[in-house]
Amino acid sequence: MKHEIWSLVGFIIFLLGFIAIILSMVGLDFLPLLPVDRLSKTAGFVCRLMMIFGGLSLLFINRTKQRG
């Protein structure tokens, strides 16, 4: 049961990061990441990339642990 929950958390983090990048490309702000964007645009972009890669790695780790 724990693996499914962590897989869901990883997918949600990935999805939020992906949506945030898409919204920033069209010039819109993603409200949960607005404080990071106020620091600098680069920090906001790095935070979005970390969300995408972190969510994917969390998803990957939990999915490969179940098989073994």
- This prediction has a pTM of 0.84
Task: Decide if pLDDT at 51 tops 60.
Answer: yes
How many other β-carbons are positioned within 10 Å of the β-carbon of residue 37?
18
- Give the tens place of pLDDT for each residue, 18-30: 999 999 899 888 8
Closest by CA to 48, choosing from 62, 30, 27, is 30
What gap in Å lies between CA 20 and CA 45, rounded to an integer? Answer: 9
Closest by CA to 4, choosing from 64, 63, 68, 67, is 63
Task: Decide if pLDDT at 65 tops 80.
Answer: no
Task: Decide if pLDDT at 17 tops 60.
Answer: yes
- Per domain, the residue ranges of the chain are 2-67
Do residues 58 and 13 touch, judged by C-beta distance below 8 A? yes
Local confidence band at 68 (pLDDT 50, 70, 90 cut-offs): low
Do residues 64 and 7 touch, judged by C-beta distance below 8 A? no
